[in-house]
Amino acid sequence: MKKGAIGIFDSGIGGLTVARSIRKLLPKEDLIYFGDTAHLPYGDKSKTAIQRFGLRISDWLLENDCKAIVIACNTASAHAYRAIRKKLDPSIPVINVIDPMAEIVAKSGLKSVGVIGTKGTIGSRVYVRKIHSLKSEIDVVSKATPLLAQMIEEGYFNNQISRTIIKSYLEGKAMEKVEGIVLGCTHYPLIKQEIQELTEKEIKIFDSSEVVALAVQKALKEGSLLNPSGGSQKFYVSDYTHSFEQSAEIFFREEIHLEKRDIWS
Ligand code: DGL
């Protein structure tokens, strides 16, 4: 099991921001990444559909000798984490992106935070529930920002169009008064700088990629599952296009090769 890989999945390539942080923190681990590009975006799919996708992908990762599962997608963490955790053997760590972030927010000392994410993540109210279960006094302002993931996936960031869209999402009394913003979608680290620049005052931006990598390290240590001698990485998608591969490199910041795997038939 020590030699097994860390299986990481997302609806597409946004989860590569998490994979990159795991790679940096745990260079000796083997990684298998699965982007469910055939079903992208998850943000507007039903809970039932996302549970079905998440359970099948987790099974496939285990069939490919993974020793731990990382749900590198907020929408899948919100809708499918419980079902995946319940189905898999308790000895297999399952790490979602929301729990470690809720803990950081609760400990931040901030009185109000904004959470931005897909319609699925925001509609589930999982962030609000988890933050409030740890610290009920924090005022949590949530906002669905459905255009952002697709905008980023298309390569639209750090330009006039992305600034206009981000600005319009951050407008409004409630959002303007928050002291921090949680990037509740694994695509958003790519627009972290723009968000920082577009907010009038200096605010804290919570980016889950590093926090999740630390949670993975902790879970592997606790299960005595750390690999002393690996370091391979493989990237699979359920639907391949050349443009996914190009965007994937922006997210992972390294040249990568995406292989298509049809795990649904
Ligand atoms: N990266 C996914 C997340 O963190 C969102 C993208 C999608 O809608 O598929 O929620």
Which of the four pLDDT bands, split at 50, 70 and 90, describes residue 215? Answer: very high
Q: Is the CB of residue 37 below 6 angstroms from any atom belonging to ligand 1?
A: no
Which of the four pLDDT bands, split at 50, 70 and 90, describes residue 35? Answer: very high
**185 in active site:** yes
Residues 60-91: pLDDT tens digits?
A: 999 999 999 999 999 999 999 999 999 999 99
- E strand or H helix that includes residue 130: helix 126-134
Residue 2 has a pLDDT of 66
Residues 6 or more apart in contact with residue 73 via CB below 8 angstroms: 9, 10, 11, 14, 15, 42, 97, 186
Domains delineated in the chain: 5-96+210-260 (3.40.50.1860), 99-208 (3.40.50.1860)
Please give the Cα distance from 215 to 230 (Å, whole number): 19
CA of 226 to the centre of ligand 1 (A): 28
Q: Is the CB of residue 116 below 6 angstroms from any atom belonging to ligand 1?
A: no
CA dihedral for 171, 102, 190, 261, sign (positive or negative): negative
Kindly report the protein residue whose alpha carbon is nearest to atom 2 of ligand 1.
73
Residue 140 has a pLDDT of 97
* Per annotation, catalytic residue among 185, 190, 216, 258: 185
**66 in active site:** no
Residues 216-265: pLDDT tens digits?
A: 999 999 999 999 999 999 999 999 988 888 888 888 988 899 999 999 87
Q: Is the CB of residue 74 below 6 angstroms from any atom belonging to ligand 1?
A: yes
Q: What is the pTM of this model?
A: 0.95
DSSP state of 69: E
